Structure 1
Amino acid sequence: MKKILIISLLFLLSPLCRADTLYLTSLDWPPYSGKKLTEQGASIAVAKAAFASMGHELVVEFYPWSRAVKLASDDSKYAGYFPEYHYESDEFVFSEPMGQGPLGLVQRKDKPVSWSKVSDLTQYRLGVVQDYINTEELDALIASGDISAQAVVSDDKNVQKVAAGRIDAAVIDANVLNYLLTNEPSLKGLADKVEMNSTLLVNKELHIAFENTHEGKKWRDIFNEGLKKIDVQAIMAKHL
Protein backbone atom coordinates (compact mmCIF):
# COMPACT_ATOMS: atom_id res chain seq x y z
CA MET A 1 0.00 0.00 0.00
CA LYS A 2 2.84 2.38 0.90
CA LYS A 3 4.55 1.74 -2.45
CA ILE A 4 1.31 2.36 -4.35
CA LEU A 5 0.81 5.66 -2.49
CA ILE A 6 4.34 6.84 -3.34
CA ILE A 7 3.92 5.94 -7.04
CA SER A 8 0.59 7.75 -7.14
CA LEU A 9 2.12 10.89 -5.63
CA LEU A 10 5.00 10.83 -8.08
CA PHE A 11 2.53 10.48 -10.95
CA LEU A 12 0.49 13.45 -9.76
CA LEU A 13 3.58 15.59 -9.29
CA SER A 14 5.10 14.84 -12.70
CA PRO A 15 5.35 17.88 -15.02
CA LEU A 16 3.07 16.28 -17.62
CA CYS A 17 0.24 15.64 -15.16
CA ARG A 18 0.27 18.66 -12.84
CA ALA A 19 -2.26 21.32 -13.83
CA ASP A 20 -0.39 24.45 -14.93
CA THR A 21 -1.22 27.76 -16.53
CA LEU A 22 0.57 28.46 -19.80
CA TYR A 23 1.00 31.95 -21.28
CA LEU A 24 1.27 32.58 -25.02
CA THR A 25 1.20 35.75 -27.10
CA SER A 26 -0.99 36.41 -30.10
CA LEU A 27 -2.35 39.26 -32.21
CA ASP A 28 -5.71 40.59 -33.33
CA TRP A 29 -6.07 38.57 -36.53
CA PRO A 30 -9.77 37.75 -36.86
CA PRO A 31 -11.31 35.27 -37.29
CA TYR A 32 -8.32 33.25 -36.03
CA SER A 33 -7.43 35.33 -32.98
CA GLY A 34 -8.64 38.47 -31.23
CA LYS A 35 -9.40 39.55 -27.68
CA LYS A 36 -12.91 40.74 -28.63
CA LEU A 37 -13.88 37.63 -30.61
CA THR A 38 -16.04 34.79 -29.32
CA GLU A 39 -13.67 32.44 -27.44
CA GLN A 40 -10.93 34.81 -28.70
CA GLY A 41 -11.12 33.34 -32.20
CA ALA A 42 -10.84 30.03 -34.01
CA SER A 43 -7.17 29.27 -33.38
CA ILE A 44 -7.29 30.24 -29.72
CA ALA A 45 -10.41 28.14 -29.20
CA VAL A 46 -8.52 25.16 -30.64
CA ALA A 47 -5.46 25.82 -28.49
CA LYS A 48 -7.44 26.23 -25.28
CA ALA A 49 -9.41 23.05 -25.96
CA ALA A 50 -6.23 21.07 -26.63
CA PHE A 51 -4.53 22.24 -23.44
CA ALA A 52 -7.72 21.76 -21.40
CA SER A 53 -7.92 18.16 -22.61
CA MET A 54 -4.50 17.67 -21.01
CA GLY A 55 -5.56 19.35 -17.76
CA HIS A 56 -3.88 22.73 -18.33
CA GLU A 57 -5.13 26.30 -18.70
CA LEU A 58 -4.03 28.58 -21.54
CA VAL A 59 -3.93 32.36 -21.13
CA VAL A 60 -3.39 34.39 -24.31
CA GLU A 61 -2.21 38.01 -24.24
CA PHE A 62 -2.48 40.21 -27.32
CA TYR A 63 0.10 42.51 -28.90
CA PRO A 64 0.98 43.93 -32.31
CA TRP A 65 2.47 41.06 -34.33
CA SER A 66 6.15 42.06 -34.21
CA ARG A 67 5.97 42.57 -30.44
CA ALA A 68 4.08 39.30 -29.95
CA VAL A 69 6.91 37.41 -31.65
CA LYS A 70 9.64 39.31 -29.80
CA LEU A 71 8.05 38.78 -26.39
CA ALA A 72 7.71 35.06 -27.09
CA SER A 73 11.49 34.84 -27.51
CA ASP A 74 12.62 37.42 -24.90
CA ASP A 75 10.14 37.28 -22.02
CA SER A 76 10.27 34.25 -19.72
CA LYS A 77 6.55 34.66 -18.99
CA TYR A 78 5.62 33.39 -22.44
CA ALA A 79 6.31 29.95 -23.85
CA GLY A 80 5.58 30.93 -27.45
CA TYR A 81 3.21 32.69 -29.84
CA PHE A 82 0.57 31.86 -32.45
CA PRO A 83 -1.03 31.42 -34.92
CA GLU A 84 2.02 31.11 -37.14
CA TYR A 85 3.01 29.47 -40.39
CA HIS A 86 5.89 27.01 -40.25
CA TYR A 87 9.31 28.36 -41.18
CA GLU A 88 12.94 27.45 -40.54
CA SER A 89 13.95 28.76 -37.12
CA ASP A 90 16.55 28.19 -34.42
CA GLU A 91 14.53 30.19 -31.87
CA PHE A 92 11.25 28.28 -32.10
CA VAL A 93 9.91 24.75 -32.47
CA PHE A 94 6.51 24.26 -34.04
CA SER A 95 3.47 22.28 -33.00
CA GLU A 96 1.55 19.92 -35.19
CA PRO A 97 -0.95 21.76 -37.46
CA MET A 98 -3.89 23.27 -35.58
CA GLY A 99 -5.92 24.20 -38.65
CA GLN A 100 -5.43 25.71 -42.08
CA GLY A 101 -5.79 29.09 -43.75
CA PRO A 102 -6.19 29.75 -47.51
CA LEU A 103 -3.49 32.30 -48.41
CA GLY A 104 -3.92 34.25 -51.62
CA LEU A 105 -4.30 37.73 -53.08
CA VAL A 106 -6.96 40.38 -52.66
CA GLN A 107 -7.51 42.34 -55.87
CA ARG A 108 -9.82 44.96 -57.37
CA LYS A 109 -12.84 43.42 -59.06
CA ASP A 110 -12.40 45.69 -62.07
CA LYS A 111 -8.64 44.98 -62.37
CA PRO A 112 -8.04 41.28 -61.61
CA VAL A 113 -4.50 39.95 -61.36
CA SER A 114 -3.62 37.24 -63.87
CA TRP A 115 -1.05 34.67 -62.77
CA SER A 116 -0.41 30.94 -62.65
CA LYS A 117 3.03 30.82 -61.01
CA VAL A 118 4.57 33.11 -58.43
CA SER A 119 7.14 34.53 -60.88
CA ASP A 120 4.21 35.95 -62.89
CA LEU A 121 3.64 38.40 -60.04
CA THR A 122 6.81 40.36 -60.87
CA GLN A 123 4.68 42.62 -63.09
CA TYR A 124 2.48 43.76 -60.20
CA ARG A 125 2.78 46.00 -57.15
CA LEU A 126 1.92 43.90 -54.11
CA GLY A 127 1.11 44.64 -50.50
CA VAL A 128 2.29 42.52 -47.58
CA VAL A 129 2.03 42.84 -43.80
CA GLN A 130 5.23 43.66 -41.97
CA ASP A 131 6.97 40.60 -40.47
CA TYR A 132 4.35 38.12 -41.73
CA ILE A 133 5.68 34.91 -43.26
CA ASN A 134 4.07 34.41 -46.69
CA THR A 135 5.55 31.67 -48.89
CA GLU A 136 9.22 30.89 -49.30
CA GLU A 137 9.20 31.61 -53.05
CA LEU A 138 7.21 34.83 -52.78
CA ASP A 139 9.28 36.17 -49.88
CA ALA A 140 12.51 35.38 -51.75
CA LEU A 141 11.33 37.31 -54.83
CA ILE A 142 10.32 40.24 -52.64
CA ALA A 143 13.65 40.18 -50.81
CA SER A 144 15.57 40.16 -54.11
CA GLY A 145 13.53 43.07 -55.46
CA ASP A 146 12.09 41.05 -58.34
CA ILE A 147 8.62 41.64 -56.92
CA SER A 148 7.77 45.19 -55.87
CA ALA A 149 6.11 44.99 -52.45
CA GLN A 150 5.04 47.53 -49.85
CA ALA A 151 4.71 46.54 -46.18
CA VAL A 152 2.00 47.80 -43.83
CA VAL A 153 1.16 47.02 -40.21
CA SER A 154 -2.17 45.24 -40.77
CA ASP A 155 -4.32 43.48 -43.36
CA ASP A 156 -7.05 46.14 -43.36
CA LYS A 157 -4.54 48.76 -44.53
CA ASN A 158 -3.67 46.58 -47.52
CA VAL A 159 -7.34 46.10 -48.42
CA GLN A 160 -7.80 49.86 -48.41
CA LYS A 161 -4.73 50.35 -50.62
CA VAL A 162 -5.97 47.75 -53.13
CA ALA A 163 -9.43 49.34 -53.25
CA ALA A 164 -7.87 52.76 -53.85
CA GLY A 165 -5.66 51.42 -56.65
CA ARG A 166 -2.43 52.27 -54.83
CA ILE A 167 -1.27 48.66 -55.24
CA ASP A 168 -2.43 45.93 -57.61
CA ALA A 169 -3.00 43.21 -55.02
CA ALA A 170 -2.08 42.20 -51.48
CA VAL A 171 -1.29 38.93 -49.77
CA ILE A 172 -4.07 37.94 -47.38
CA ASP A 173 -5.84 34.93 -45.90
CA ALA A 174 -9.26 34.46 -47.51
CA ASN A 175 -10.97 33.96 -44.15
CA VAL A 176 -9.38 37.15 -42.84
CA LEU A 177 -10.57 39.11 -45.88
CA ASN A 178 -14.10 37.79 -45.53
CA TYR A 179 -14.18 38.74 -41.85
CA LEU A 180 -12.77 42.22 -42.45
CA LEU A 181 -15.20 43.05 -45.26
CA THR A 182 -18.11 41.92 -43.11
CA ASN A 183 -17.10 43.38 -39.74
CA GLU A 184 -14.47 46.13 -40.05
CA PRO A 185 -16.09 49.62 -40.09
CA SER A 186 -13.14 51.18 -41.95
CA LEU A 187 -13.74 48.77 -44.86
CA LYS A 188 -17.48 49.37 -45.10
CA GLY A 189 -18.60 49.33 -48.72
CA LEU A 190 -15.38 47.86 -50.09
CA ALA A 191 -16.93 44.41 -50.67
CA ASP A 192 -18.21 45.80 -53.98
CA LYS A 193 -14.70 46.81 -55.01
CA VAL A 194 -12.38 44.00 -53.92
CA GLU A 195 -12.32 40.20 -53.97
CA MET A 196 -9.99 37.24 -53.57
CA ASN A 197 -8.09 36.21 -56.68
CA SER A 198 -9.29 32.78 -57.81
CA THR A 199 -5.76 31.29 -57.56
CA LEU A 200 -4.42 30.63 -54.08
CA LEU A 201 -0.74 30.92 -53.17
CA VAL A 202 -1.12 27.99 -50.78
CA ASN A 203 -3.38 26.52 -48.13
CA LYS A 204 -1.18 27.28 -45.13
CA GLU A 205 -1.13 25.18 -41.99
CA LEU A 206 -1.35 27.06 -38.69
CA HIS A 207 0.89 26.24 -35.72
CA ILE A 208 1.97 27.38 -32.29
CA ALA A 209 5.62 28.48 -32.24
CA PHE A 210 7.14 27.43 -28.91
CA GLU A 211 10.49 28.60 -27.62
CA ASN A 212 13.27 26.21 -28.60
CA THR A 213 14.02 25.28 -24.99
CA HIS A 214 13.39 22.28 -22.77
CA GLU A 215 10.28 24.02 -21.39
CA GLY A 216 9.05 24.99 -24.84
CA LYS A 217 9.47 21.47 -26.17
CA LYS A 218 7.62 20.10 -23.13
CA TRP A 219 4.62 22.33 -23.86
CA ARG A 220 4.78 21.51 -27.57
CA ASP A 221 4.53 17.81 -26.77
CA ILE A 222 1.64 18.38 -24.37
CA PHE A 223 -0.19 20.45 -26.97
CA ASN A 224 0.39 17.88 -29.72
CA GLU A 225 -1.05 15.17 -27.50
CA GLY A 226 -4.04 17.37 -26.70
CA LEU A 227 -4.74 17.97 -30.40
CA LYS A 228 -5.37 14.23 -30.79
CA LYS A 229 -8.17 14.43 -28.22
CA ILE A 230 -10.24 17.21 -29.80
CA ASP A 231 -12.06 17.80 -33.08
CA VAL A 232 -9.97 20.60 -34.58
CA GLN A 233 -12.03 20.94 -37.76
CA ALA A 234 -15.30 21.24 -35.84
CA ILE A 235 -13.92 23.97 -33.58
CA MET A 236 -12.45 25.89 -36.54
CA ALA A 237 -15.68 25.60 -38.52
CA LYS A 238 -17.66 27.06 -35.63
CA HIS A 239 -15.67 30.29 -35.88
CA LEU A 240 -15.03 30.49 -39.62
Structure 2
Amino acid sequence: MRTFFLLICILEIVSVANATSKKEEIHLVTFEAPPYLGEKLPEHGAGVYALREIIKKTNFTLKVTFVPPLRAKQIVNKDGYAGFFPVSLANLPSGFKMSRVFYRTPWMIAERKSSPILWEKTVDLIPYKIGNVAGYDLYKDQQELVNKKKLHVESASNDEANLLKLANKRVDLIFIEAAMFEFLMKTSPRLKPFQKDLQLNPRIVNLDEYGIAFKDNKQAQEQMAAFNKAITEEHFTRLISEYFKKHPALNP
Protein backbone atom coordinates (compact mmCIF):
# COMPACT_ATOMS: atom_id res chain seq x y z
CA MET A 1 0.00 0.00 0.00
CA ARG A 2 2.82 2.35 0.92
CA THR A 3 4.61 1.53 -2.35
CA PHE A 4 1.42 2.26 -4.30
CA PHE A 5 1.05 5.63 -2.53
CA LEU A 6 4.65 6.56 -3.38
CA LEU A 7 4.08 5.59 -7.01
CA ILE A 8 1.02 7.85 -7.20
CA CYS A 9 3.03 10.76 -5.74
CA ILE A 10 5.82 10.24 -8.27
CA LEU A 11 3.35 10.16 -11.16
CA GLU A 12 1.73 13.39 -9.95
CA ILE A 13 5.12 15.11 -9.70
CA VAL A 14 6.06 13.97 -13.22
CA SER A 15 2.69 15.15 -14.53
CA VAL A 16 3.11 18.60 -12.97
CA ALA A 17 6.68 18.86 -14.29
CA ASN A 18 5.54 17.99 -17.81
CA ALA A 19 2.72 20.51 -17.63
CA THR A 20 5.00 23.31 -16.48
CA SER A 21 7.70 22.45 -19.02
CA LYS A 22 5.32 22.37 -21.98
CA LYS A 23 6.09 25.30 -24.25
CA GLU A 24 3.43 27.82 -25.17
CA GLU A 25 2.58 28.13 -28.86
CA ILE A 26 3.04 31.25 -30.98
CA HIS A 27 0.42 30.95 -33.73
CA LEU A 28 1.18 33.16 -36.73
CA VAL A 29 -0.53 33.72 -40.07
CA THR A 30 1.39 33.97 -43.33
CA PHE A 31 0.97 33.37 -47.06
CA GLU A 32 2.67 31.60 -49.95
CA ALA A 33 5.95 33.27 -50.91
CA PRO A 34 8.26 30.51 -52.18
CA PRO A 35 11.01 29.62 -51.55
CA TYR A 36 10.79 31.39 -48.18
CA LEU A 37 7.20 30.57 -47.27
CA GLY A 38 5.15 27.68 -48.59
CA GLU A 39 2.72 25.17 -47.11
CA LYS A 40 3.96 22.39 -49.42
CA LEU A 41 7.65 23.28 -49.27
CA PRO A 42 10.02 21.23 -47.08
CA GLU A 43 9.73 22.55 -43.51
CA HIS A 44 7.33 25.19 -44.88
CA GLY A 45 10.12 27.12 -46.60
CA ALA A 46 13.36 28.82 -45.66
CA GLY A 47 11.74 31.65 -43.70
CA VAL A 48 9.56 29.42 -41.53
CA TYR A 49 12.50 27.07 -40.96
CA ALA A 50 14.66 29.96 -39.74
CA LEU A 51 11.95 31.40 -37.49
CA ARG A 52 11.15 28.00 -36.00
CA GLU A 53 14.82 27.37 -35.17
CA ILE A 54 15.12 30.77 -33.51
CA ILE A 55 11.88 30.42 -31.52
CA LYS A 56 13.17 27.08 -30.21
CA LYS A 57 15.58 29.15 -28.10
CA THR A 58 12.63 30.70 -26.25
CA ASN A 59 9.92 29.18 -24.06
CA PHE A 60 7.64 29.05 -27.10
CA THR A 61 7.04 26.91 -30.17
CA LEU A 62 5.92 28.12 -33.60
CA LYS A 63 2.71 27.22 -35.41
CA VAL A 64 2.03 28.70 -38.86
CA THR A 65 -1.24 28.92 -40.79
CA PHE A 66 -1.12 29.70 -44.52
CA VAL A 67 -3.87 31.81 -46.11
CA PRO A 68 -4.10 33.95 -49.28
CA PRO A 69 -2.40 37.37 -48.83
CA LEU A 70 -5.72 39.20 -48.98
CA ARG A 71 -7.06 37.21 -46.00
CA ALA A 72 -3.96 37.38 -43.80
CA LYS A 73 -4.85 40.67 -42.09
CA GLN A 74 -8.47 39.59 -41.71
CA ILE A 75 -8.08 36.13 -40.19
CA VAL A 76 -5.33 37.21 -37.79
CA ASN A 77 -7.84 39.33 -35.85
CA LYS A 78 -9.60 36.16 -34.71
CA ASP A 79 -8.79 34.69 -31.30
CA GLY A 80 -5.91 32.24 -31.15
CA TYR A 81 -3.54 34.09 -33.47
CA ALA A 82 -0.63 36.11 -32.10
CA GLY A 83 0.15 37.93 -35.34
CA PHE A 84 1.23 37.62 -38.95
CA PHE A 85 4.33 37.90 -41.11
CA PRO A 86 6.06 39.20 -43.12
CA VAL A 87 5.27 42.85 -42.44
CA SER A 88 7.12 46.13 -42.93
CA LEU A 89 6.73 49.16 -40.69
CA ALA A 90 5.20 51.17 -43.55
CA ASN A 91 2.35 48.64 -43.83
CA LEU A 92 1.82 47.83 -40.14
CA PRO A 93 -1.94 47.93 -39.39
CA SER A 94 -3.36 49.53 -36.26
CA GLY A 95 -3.66 47.21 -33.27
CA PHE A 96 -0.28 45.59 -33.96
CA LYS A 97 3.35 46.19 -33.05
CA MET A 98 6.28 45.12 -35.18
CA SER A 99 9.11 42.91 -33.98
CA ARG A 100 12.75 43.56 -34.64
CA VAL A 101 13.64 43.61 -38.33
CA PHE A 102 15.25 40.34 -39.39
CA TYR A 103 15.06 40.32 -43.19
CA ARG A 104 15.71 42.89 -45.91
CA THR A 105 14.89 42.37 -49.56
CA PRO A 106 14.48 44.55 -52.67
CA TRP A 107 10.98 45.05 -54.06
CA MET A 108 11.31 45.25 -57.83
CA ILE A 109 9.60 45.73 -61.16
CA ALA A 110 9.49 42.78 -63.54
CA GLU A 111 9.19 43.61 -67.22
CA ARG A 112 9.36 42.10 -70.68
CA LYS A 113 12.84 42.30 -72.18
CA SER A 114 11.28 43.56 -75.39
CA SER A 115 9.63 46.49 -73.54
CA PRO A 116 11.88 47.71 -70.71
CA ILE A 117 10.41 50.33 -68.39
CA LEU A 118 12.23 53.66 -68.17
CA TRP A 119 11.40 55.33 -64.87
CA GLU A 120 12.84 57.25 -61.93
CA LYS A 121 9.78 58.19 -59.85
CA THR A 122 6.42 56.54 -59.26
CA VAL A 123 4.68 59.17 -61.42
CA ASP A 124 6.70 57.86 -64.37
CA LEU A 125 4.67 54.63 -64.12
CA ILE A 126 1.33 56.37 -64.78
CA PRO A 127 1.25 55.48 -68.52
CA TYR A 128 1.59 51.76 -67.79
CA LYS A 129 -0.79 48.98 -66.79
CA ILE A 130 0.62 47.42 -63.60
CA GLY A 131 0.09 44.00 -62.03
CA ASN A 132 0.11 43.41 -58.27
CA VAL A 133 -0.91 40.44 -56.13
CA ALA A 134 -4.17 40.98 -54.23
CA GLY A 135 -3.25 41.58 -50.60
CA TYR A 136 0.23 42.97 -51.29
CA ASP A 137 0.24 46.51 -49.93
CA LEU A 138 1.26 49.32 -52.24
CA TYR A 139 3.61 52.02 -50.99
CA LYS A 140 2.15 55.33 -49.89
CA ASP A 141 2.97 57.26 -53.07
CA GLN A 142 1.65 54.40 -55.23
CA GLN A 143 -1.60 54.12 -53.26
CA GLU A 144 -2.16 57.88 -53.43
CA LEU A 145 -1.95 57.76 -57.23
CA VAL A 146 -4.29 54.76 -57.31
CA ASN A 147 -6.79 56.63 -55.13
CA LYS A 148 -6.62 59.56 -57.56
CA LYS A 149 -7.21 57.07 -60.41
CA LYS A 150 -3.94 58.07 -62.03
CA LEU A 151 -2.11 54.77 -61.53
CA HIS A 152 -3.69 51.69 -63.13
CA VAL A 153 -3.05 48.60 -60.97
CA GLU A 154 -4.69 45.23 -61.66
CA SER A 155 -4.84 42.41 -59.11
CA ALA A 156 -3.63 38.83 -59.56
CA SER A 157 -4.23 35.88 -57.24
CA ASN A 158 -0.53 35.07 -56.77
CA ASP A 159 2.93 35.91 -58.10
CA GLU A 160 2.96 33.15 -60.71
CA ALA A 161 -0.35 34.37 -62.14
CA ASN A 162 0.99 37.91 -62.10
CA LEU A 163 4.09 36.89 -64.07
CA LEU A 164 1.93 35.03 -66.58
CA LYS A 165 -0.14 38.18 -67.13
CA LEU A 166 3.09 40.06 -67.82
CA ALA A 167 4.40 37.38 -70.18
CA ASN A 168 1.11 37.33 -72.09
CA LYS A 169 1.12 41.14 -72.43
CA ARG A 170 -1.97 41.68 -70.30
CA VAL A 171 0.02 44.14 -68.16
CA ASP A 172 3.14 46.19 -68.89
CA LEU A 173 4.96 45.55 -65.62
CA ILE A 174 4.44 43.93 -62.23
CA PHE A 175 5.66 44.49 -58.68
CA ILE A 176 7.49 41.49 -57.21
CA GLU A 177 10.12 40.57 -54.63
CA ALA A 178 13.47 39.84 -56.29
CA ALA A 179 14.06 36.34 -54.89
CA MET A 180 10.46 35.37 -55.68
CA PHE A 181 10.99 36.34 -59.33
CA GLU A 182 14.19 34.30 -59.60
CA PHE A 183 12.64 31.26 -57.90
CA LEU A 184 9.45 31.19 -59.96
CA MET A 185 11.23 31.76 -63.27
CA LYS A 186 13.56 28.89 -62.39
CA THR A 187 11.01 26.37 -61.08
CA SER A 188 7.54 27.07 -62.50
CA PRO A 189 6.58 24.80 -65.44
CA ARG A 190 4.01 27.39 -66.55
CA LEU A 191 6.67 30.10 -66.74
CA LYS A 192 9.33 27.95 -68.41
CA PRO A 193 8.34 29.06 -71.96
CA PHE A 194 8.93 32.68 -70.92
CA GLN A 195 12.29 32.33 -69.14
CA LYS A 196 14.09 34.32 -71.85
CA ASP A 197 11.34 36.92 -72.18
CA LEU A 198 11.12 38.41 -68.67
CA GLN A 199 13.61 40.26 -66.49
CA LEU A 200 13.89 42.49 -63.44
CA ASN A 201 14.17 46.21 -64.03
CA PRO A 202 17.54 47.43 -62.68
CA ARG A 203 15.98 50.17 -60.54
CA ILE A 204 14.82 49.10 -57.06
CA VAL A 205 11.31 50.16 -56.06
CA ASN A 206 12.08 49.86 -52.36
CA LEU A 207 14.36 47.97 -49.97
CA ASP A 208 11.84 46.36 -47.64
CA GLU A 209 12.65 45.59 -44.00
CA TYR A 210 10.51 42.78 -42.64
CA GLY A 211 9.51 41.56 -39.20
CA ILE A 212 6.50 39.98 -37.49
CA ALA A 213 3.35 41.94 -36.63
CA PHE A 214 2.26 40.95 -33.11
CA LYS A 215 -1.11 41.91 -31.68
CA ASP A 216 -1.00 44.74 -29.17
CA ASN A 217 -2.20 42.70 -26.20
CA LYS A 218 -0.43 41.33 -23.13
CA GLN A 219 0.02 37.74 -24.32
CA ALA A 220 1.23 38.59 -27.82
CA GLN A 221 3.53 41.33 -26.53
CA GLU A 222 5.14 38.88 -24.09
CA GLN A 223 5.73 36.57 -27.04
CA MET A 224 7.20 39.43 -29.09
CA ALA A 225 9.54 40.38 -26.23
CA ALA A 226 10.86 36.81 -26.07
CA PHE A 227 11.22 36.69 -29.85
CA ASN A 228 13.08 40.02 -29.97
CA LYS A 229 15.60 38.73 -27.44
CA ALA A 230 16.24 35.60 -29.50
CA ILE A 231 16.32 37.04 -33.04
CA THR A 232 19.18 38.71 -34.85
CA GLU A 233 19.31 39.51 -38.52
CA GLU A 234 22.66 37.70 -38.81
CA HIS A 235 21.30 34.52 -37.22
CA PHE A 236 18.21 34.56 -39.43
CA THR A 237 20.35 35.00 -42.56
CA ARG A 238 22.65 32.18 -41.47
CA LEU A 239 19.68 29.85 -41.01
CA ILE A 240 18.33 30.80 -44.45
CA SER A 241 21.69 29.77 -45.94
CA GLU A 242 21.58 26.56 -43.91
CA TYR A 243 18.13 25.75 -45.33
CA PHE A 244 19.27 26.20 -48.93
CA LYS A 245 22.27 23.94 -48.30
CA LYS A 246 19.79 21.28 -47.17
CA HIS A 247 17.49 21.97 -50.14
CA PRO A 248 19.72 23.28 -52.98
CA ALA A 249 17.01 22.85 -55.64
CA LEU A 250 15.01 25.61 -53.91
CA ASN A 251 17.84 28.15 -53.86
CA PRO A 252 16.73 31.09 -56.06
TM class by smaller structure: 0.7 to 0.9
Task: Report the AA paired with residue 21 of structure 1.
Answer: E
| Structure 2 counterpart of 1:85 | 88
Q: RMSD of aligned C-alpha atoms?
A: 2.1
Note if contact 2:51-2:236 (Cα within 8 Å) is conserved in structure 1. no
- Runs of at least 4 residues of structure 1 off by over 4 A? none
Where does 1:34-113 land on structure 2 (aligned, <5 Å)?
A: 34-73=38-77, 75-86=78-89, 87-113=91-117
Note if contact 1:32-1:83 (Cα within 8 Å) is conserved in structure 2. no
Task: Report the AA paired with residue 150 of structure 2.
Answer: D
Tell me whether 225-234 or 113-122 shows the greater mean CA deviation. 225-234
- Relative to structure 1, the CA distance from residue 103 to residue 229 in structure 2 (aligned partners, 3 Å threshold; closer, same or farther) is closer
Where does 1:150-189 land on structure 2 (aligned, <5 Å)?
A: 150-189=154-193
Q: TM-score of the superposition, structure 1-length normalised?
A: 0.86
Q: TM-score of the superposition, structure 2-length normalised?
A: 0.82
**C-alpha distance in 2 between matches for 1:236 and 1:227:** 13
| Structure 1 counterpart of 2:140 | 136
Q: 1:220 aligns with which of 187, 206, 224?
A: 224
CA-to-partner distance for each residue in 1:12-41, whole Å, 9 max, x for gaps?
9xx9x9721221111111122012223312
- Relative to structure 1, the CA distance from residue 42 to residue 142 in structure 2 (aligned partners, 3 Å threshold; closer, same or farther) is farther
Tell me whether 168-177 or 57-66 shows the greater mean CA deviation. 57-66
SS of alignment partner, residue 231 of structure 1 = helix
**CA shift for structure 1 position 185:** 2.1
**CA shift for structure 1 position 163:** 0.7
**C-alpha distance in 2 between matches for 1:230 and 1:162:** 35
**C-alpha distance in 2 between matches for 1:165 and 1:84:** 30
- Relative to structure 1, the CA distance from residue 195 to residue 229 in structure 2 (aligned partners, 3 Å threshold; closer, same or farther) is closer
Q: 1:205 aligns with which of 202, 206, 209?
A: 209
Sequence identity, in percent?
24
**C-alpha distance in 1 between matches for 2:188 and 2:73:** 25
Note if contact 2:92-2:98 (Cα within 8 Å) is conserved in structure 1. no
Task: Report the AA paired with residue 107 of structure 1.
Answer: E
Task: Report the AA paired with residue 150 of structure 1.
Answer: E
**C-alpha distance in 1 between matches for 2:29 and 2:98:** 14
| Structure 1 counterpart of 2:5 | none
Note if contact 1:50-1:229 (Cα within 8 Å) is conserved in structure 2. no
**C-alpha distance in 2 between matches for 1:166 and 1:229:** 38
- When Rg is computed on C-alpha atoms for both structures, the one with the higher figure is 2
Note if contact 2:102-2:233 (Cα within 8 Å) is conserved in structure 1. no
**CA shift for structure 1 position 67:** 2.2
Q: List runs of 5+ in structure 2 lacking aligned partners.
A: 1-16, 245-250
Note if contact 2:71-2:135 (Cα within 8 Å) is conserved in structure 1. no
Task: Report the AA paired with residue 84 of structure 2.
Answer: Y
Q: 2:31 aligns with which of 27, 34, 55?
A: 27
**Number of residues paired by the alignment?**
225
Q: List runs of 5+ in structure 1 lacking aligned partners.
A: 1-11
